[in-house]
Structure 1
Amino acid sequence: MTPRPAFAELSEVAVLRDMQTDDGYLIPAGMEGTIVGIWAGGEAYEVEFDEPVADNATVRAGALRAA
C-alpha cells in the first residue's frame, strides 16, 4: 500500500527553514505558500509563494508544516 502524501494539493503550508525559489530568490523560514504540485508520492512539493516574491519552489516534505 502506497502512503498518502502529508499535504494535499492547494494546502497552505509554511517553510521551516530558508529556501531558494526555482529562480534563485530567498524565501525566509516561516513564509507561507500554497502547494500546487506533489512529487514522488509526497516526498517533495511544488509550493507557490506570493511574498516576498511571486515564485515557486520545490520543497522536501520535511521542510514544510501546515500553515
Structure 2
Amino acid sequence: MSFDTLYQSRDPVTPRPAFAELSVIAVLRDVQADDGVTVPAGTEGTIVGIWAGGEAHEVEFDEPVVGNATVRAEALRAA
C-alpha cells in the first residue's frame, strides 16, 4: 500500500472542543440563561455539556445569576 493510498483511507480528524466538561470559563458578552435571566459579561461558570462537537457549551452559573445557559464557543474564555 502506498503512502498516498494510506493517507486517503485514514479517518478524518475530528475537531476537539476548545473546552472540556467541568472547565471553569467566563462569558465574553451578556448571555441569556435558560430561564430568561441575563448573565452579565465576565461571569464565571462551569461547562456541564458540550454540543455539536464544541460549537456550543452548556454552562452552569452560580453567582451572580443561578442557572444554566447554552453559549457558543466564541463567547467563552478560560477563567
TM-score (norm 1): 0.97
> Which has the higher relative contact order, 1 or 2, with Cα contacts under 8 A spaced 6 or more apart?
1
**How far does the alpha carbon of each residue in 1:9-60 deviate from its partner, in whole angstroms, 9 at most, with x for none?**
0000000001110100111000000000000000000000001221000000
Q: Which amino acid aligns with 2:20?
A: A
Q: What is the aligned residue count? A: 67
Partner SS state of residue 22, structure 2: coil
Runs of 4+ in 1 over 6 A off after TM superposition: none
Residues 1:65 and 2:77 are matched in the alignment: yes
Structure that is richer in helix per residue? 2
**Structure 1 residue 2 displacement after superposition:** 0.7
Match of 1:54 in 2: 66
TM-score (norm 2): 0.83
Structure 2: which 5+ residue stretches go unaligned?
1-12
Counterpart CA distance in 2 for 1:14 and 1:8 is: 14
Structure that is richer in strand per residue? 1
Counterpart CA distance in 2 for 1:51 and 1:25 is: 12
Structure 1: which 5+ residue stretches go unaligned?
none
